[in-house]
A and B are shown apart, each in its own frame.
Chain A
Amino acid sequence: MNIHIQHGHLIDPKNKLDARQDIFISLGKVVGIGHAPDGFLAEQVIDATNLIVCPGLIDLSARLREPGFEYKATLESEMLAAAAGGVTSLACPPDTDPVLDEPGLVEMLKHRAKQLNLTHVYPLGALTRQLQGKELTEMCELTEAGCVGFSQADIAITDTLVLFRAMQYAATFGFTVWLRPEETYLAKDGIAHDGEVASRLGLRGIPAIAETIAITTILRLALETGAKVHLCRLSTREGVELVREAKTQGLNVTCDISANHLHLTEYDIGFFNANCHLKPPLRSQRDRDALSIGLADGTIDAVCSDHTPVDDDAKLVPFAEAEAGATGLELLLPLSLKWASEQKIPLSAAIARLTTAPAQILGLDAGHLSVGSNADICIFDPQHYWKIEAKSLISQGKNTPFLGMEVAGKVRFTLLNGRVQFALSPTGG
């Protein structure tokens, strides 16, 4: 279908476009920017007056919960949520049940996602079998099946020799290793940042050194093995500092943070709000400020949703027993816009953290709108204010620390391969 998106404000950080420009789409591709190609006849015209048109967002971490946790969410429900959030590509961690450690499972997931065709799904394979940190997975086979990197999800490898070997092996083939830095013993049984709030509430703490010691180890191993490392979900000021130094020294390392950690601190736990039980834990204000600065100066490459739908029953227990995680696909854009507006970051710089940067980390030719590129597009209204409520979310996961908060920025249209996969109904639902 030929689509003409007109009167919109186009922001494409990669191509340094930040102006009013029309876009012309044909056969799933962008065929014209600013000017229609000769003989272009639009079958559909999208009026984007007062709207921002940008590349579809790329989310570095969204749990779709399939296979194994269909009672928490399904591929269909979460891919619809992704489309509603303007996300056209997402990476999903391997901590499903069974764990994504066999090519057959990855092929099945890719196949199911392709059939639903609501967003591009890029699985991360398990770095070790069953995520147990003992034996390596068949990384080459898994890559052929569609894995874009290898991860331990939230389960760190305790045995440093295994981690060393895993990174060596991945480096052999140029695969990226995705690690959430957390030293197992220091974080053991911990549920909240080891700070004032945890001390007051009597919650077992996870000290910041659990992250920094792990980062130090991983970076040394990366230097030694030459592995490409992506550090997931940084949470501490010292962690950002270590990455900044490593990047200055030219190490091949990237990192991300979750949108939750960009805004929240340990104080948001309040009187044991289980929706604030997250991994890594919400840390101090000083840490949050460092994350914000790190994201602004590029030390932190990308911001992701860390979308983790949790069923209500798993949150209806005392704080420590509650399952960690929050829904996020539909909040990634508004929370990033909120950050940009509060920190006076240009919109295009904020959008780069959601498009160009994650595309580069995933090694995808995506996250930009050039003639000839896939027409994965997000069209949003930056002035549309809405309240985050269970009923306003499409995801099956309704738990988020932001419930009740009003945010600006609502996706109006999401296009995947040049097809409108999501259009906001006039009533706003």
Chain B
Amino acid sequence: MNNPQLNQDGQLKHLLSIEGLPKAILKQILDTAESFVGVAEREVKKVPLLRGKTVCNIFFENSTRTRTTFEIAAKRLSADVLNLNVGTSSQAKGESILDTVNNLIAMHADMFVVRHSQSGAAHFIAQHVAPHIHVINAGDGRHSHPTQGLLDVFTIRRYKPDMHNLRVALVGDVLHSRVARSEIHALTTLGVPEIRVIAPKTLLPVQVEKLGVQVYHDMHEGLKGVDVVMMLRLQNERMNGALLPSAQEYFKTYGLTQEKLALAHPDAIVMHPGPMNRGVEIDSAVADGSQSVILPQVTYGIAVRMAVMAILAGSTI
């Protein structure tokens, strides 16, 4: 089966999921991102790599942070940016996704950043757009959120450069998390030897171990000796119901506190893709504590998204 993300020469054509991306491309993105970290610290925070290009953010599902960081990334690359909240416009009028996208292509958009509530939506769009168009998946259902996965491994690499000697734990709602899936694929591709998932059985997908992870249900066991703790967001609507009895019980069993964090390696870093539920999955003292790298994640997110856009644009020139 052809990898729909790569062109015939094996270069990145779309960024749809981390799964199936060669290690070399992952490294290319991370290395390119390194060179963009400095751009934000300059007085003029712009490089002309995407001058004259139009980047279109189509969000079929609401988002503030991801859309904003994509917008900043595109603007720092000198692209023109168009933001479309489709949830509130054409889709509500019954227009199909393809019609929405093709209308924007007719307006000469070059690159699409797409978020959609259905798994596979980005793949679907990528399969049906004209060949010169690039698609970046900004989150599709429970499937994938590749730039988040990339910025997370970028952050890890900055703090823990020896990826081949790491223990990483993902804690929380893996079942519904596209972030978790992307992180797992990014970490396995980069050769991280031990990835753990820690969650109750109701929040784990079936056969999750086939993704290359070890399963823990006891957080105290699972956190022992890990170098990285990645907390996952628990959606409000999942806190009380058939998946979990209450936010309080969840915090007690799977919330990250200083006490539980003490079980990890003393130098362990704490990450969270945001937005955080303080007091549900993470205690404020940990979120704001010395081991937290949650805000640097956001900063690096811009550099990583710049790198992805620059590489995609470069693949056509």
- Residues on A lying within 8 angstroms of B by beta carbon are 194-196, 198-205, 207, 270-272, 274, 313, 316-321
Contacts and interface: CB of A to CB of B under 8 A. Distances in A.
A196 B141 contact: no
B123 A200 contact: no
Nearest to B145: A202
12 contacts: A200-B19, A200-B181, A201-B120, A202-B140, A202-B142, A203-B142, A205-B206, A313-B96, A316-B128, A317-B96, A319-B120, A321-B118
Contacts of B96: 313, 316-317
A395 B101 CA distance: 30
Contacts of A199: 205-208, 210-211
Given A200-B211, A271-B123, A318-B97, A194 B118 contact: no
Interface in B207-222: 207-208, 210-211
B159 interface: no
Contact of A201 (B4, B98, B119): B119
Nearest to B126: A271
A126 B127 CA distance: 39
B121 A198 contact: no
Contact of B124 (A201, A204, A318): A318
A272 B4 CA distance: 11
Contacts of A271: 1, 4, 120, 123, 127
B205 A198 contact: yes
Given A316-B128, A317-B96, A272 B1 contact: no
Contacts of A270: 1
A196 B118 contact: no
Contacts of B116: 318
Contacts of A274: 124
Nearest to A207: B206
The 9 closest A-B pairs by CB, nearest first: A202-B142, A272-B120, A202-B143, A199-B205, A318-B118, A202-B119, A319-B120, A318-B121, A196-B207
Interface string B155-196: 000000000000000000000001001000000000000000
Candidate in B1, B97, B141 with the most chain A CB atoms within 10 angstroms:
B141
B142 to A, nearest CB: 3
Contact of B119 (A195, A316, A317, A319): A319
A201 B207 contact: no
Nearest to A193: B206
A195 B141 contact: no
Given A201-B120, A203-B119, A271-B120, 20 more contacts: A194-B206, A196-B206, A198-B205, A199-B206, A201-B119, A201-B143, A202-B119, A202-B143, A202-B144, A270-B1, A271-B4, A271-B123, A317-B96, A318-B116, A318-B118, A318-B121, A318-B140, A319-B118, A319-B124, A320-B120
Contacts of A198: 205-206
Nearest to B121: A318
A270 B143 CA distance: 13
B210 A196 contact: yes
Contacts of A201: 119-120, 143
A208 to B, nearest CB: 10
B207 A195 contact: yes
B124 A272 contact: yes
Contacts of B121: 318
Candidate in A202, A316, A321 with the most chain B CB atoms within 10 angstroms:
A202
Contacts of B143: 201-203
A199 B119 CA distance: 11
Contacts of B178: 202
B124 A195 contact: no
A316 B121 CA distance: 11
B123 A272 contact: yes
Contacts of A320: 118-120, 141
Contacts of B97: 317-318
Nearest to B4: A271
B207 A317 contact: no
Nearest to B120: A272
Contacts of A196: 206-207, 210
Contact of B181 (A202, A317, A318): A202
Candidate in B19, B142, B211 with the most chain A CB atoms within 10 angstroms:
B142
A318 B119 contact: yes
B4 A202 contact: no
Contacts of A272: 119-120, 123-124
Contacts of B98: 316
Contacts of A195: 206-207
Contacts of A200: 19, 181, 210-211
A321 B178 CA distance: 18
A318 B16 CA distance: 14
B141 A202 contact: yes
Contacts of B4: 271
A196 B97 CA distance: 28
Nearest to A269: B120
A186 to B, nearest CB: 12
A317 to B, nearest CB: 7
Candidate in B1, B119, B128, B181 with the most chain A CB atoms within 10 angstroms:
B119
A358 B272 CA distance: 58
Contacts of A205: 205-206
B91 to A, nearest CB: 11
A199 B118 CA distance: 14
Contacts of B124: 272, 274, 317-319
Contacts of A204: 142
Interface string B105-138: 0000000000010111101100110000000000
A273 B129 CA distance: 16
A201 B181 CA distance: 9
Contacts of B120: 201, 203, 271-272, 318-320
A205 B120 CA distance: 15
A314 to B, nearest CB: 11
Nearest to A272: B120
Candidate in A196, A199, A272, A318 with the most chain B CB atoms within 10 angstroms:
A318
Contacts of A202: 119, 140-144, 178, 181
A405 to B, nearest CB: 14
Interface string B74-111: 00000000000000000000001110000000000000
